[in-house]
Amino acid sequence: MQAALINTELYPVDDLESPAAADWIRAIRAELERDGCSLLPDFVSPQTLAQMLRQVRRITHLGYPGPTEVSPYFFNYRLGEGEDLPDSHPLRHRGKRNLAQVAANLIPDDFLLSQLYRSDSMRGFLAAVTGKPVYRNRDPYQSLNISLMDEGGCQQWHFDSGDMVTTLLLQQPEAGGIFEYAPAIRSDENENFDAVRQVLDGDRERVRQNRLEAGTLSLFRGHYSLHRVTPVKGKRQRIQAILGYSARPNLYGDKASSILHYGPRVAQIEATTPRYPE
Ligand SMILES: [Fe+2]
């Protein structure tokens, strides 16, 4: 079953001990080290992708828009709080977010996307890349998401909270909706606010573009690389799945953040049949 999900003609995910796989994994690691990202086109075959997309389209109406004005540091709500900073400082910056997300608990288990996300092959592959055990995010809403952008849809410049983000583009728009990033612009030691501000102000020197095609899996170190999605043009929706994995075995996100991003229905569920641990 799993072999049919991942395009094993291109990617030896089920034979990670082979010399060919070792070379492949080494190349991915080198790319991540050098560029902060690695792209795997046709990670799912065109036939699998078509079926996956047919299923996903049945639930796109369940997407919730969430916040529309967001800080580049939106997972760090309190960063810069109480500090006397000019309005031009990155910590004071607010960008436009225009997208909807389908929460994990709305994606049926029998969808090919869910099967891919839960497959041992995915975890095994990511463990080989990172050199650590890899677990699925346990959060009932955040673990697996489908991100939807209509015409004008975009994602503002931001950093991610997690160390590595795994996404699969399911449908590309007619134009726009391009992933842009400034690789390794900050580190654990240095926020590098001056360089971040330059990118926020429109400087293009550090900015790179990934023109993704549907079916491409992308591994991205979004915690250190400022990134965004440019506005979508045309009627075709940009549809992307976000697969939440972590080196931590029991990772839950924040309940308040889930309510913010997936809507009041999360608060209702948590009031009656809580899914977050006490
Ligand atoms: Fe991100």
**Residue-wise pLDDT tens digits, 21-36:** 999 999 999 999 998 9
126 falls within a domain: no
30 falls within a domain: no
112 falls within a domain: no
Separation of alpha carbons 40 and 219, rounded Å: 8
How many angstroms separate the alpha carbon of residue 268 from the centre of ligand 1? 27
Helix (H, G, I), strand (E, B) or coil at 96: strand
2 falls within a domain: no
128 falls within a domain: no
pLDDT at 190: 94
- Tell me which amino acid residue 195 is: A
How many angstroms separate the alpha carbon of residue 38 from the centre of ligand 1? 15
177 falls within a domain: yes
- C-beta of residue 180 within 8 angstroms of C-beta of residue 147: no
- Tell me which amino acid residue 263 is: G
143 falls within a domain: yes
The mean predicted confidence, pLDDT, of the chain is 94
CATH number at residue 56: 2.60.120.620
62 falls within a domain: yes
Neighbours of ion ligand 1 (CB under 5 A): 160, 222
Q: How confident is the model at residue 48 (pLDDT cuts 50, 70, 90)?
A: very high
How many angstroms separate the alpha carbon of residue 242 from the centre of ligand 1? 10
Q: Which domain holds residue 154?
A: 37-107+134-272
How many angstroms separate the alpha carbon of residue 158 from the centre of ligand 1? 6
Per the structure, the count of domains in the chain is: 1
74-107 residue pLDDT tens: 766 567 778 888 888 999 899 999 999 999 999 9
Global pTM value: 0.95
239-275 residue pLDDT tens: 999 999 999 999 999 999 999 999 999 999 999 999 9
pLDDT at 152 over 80: yes
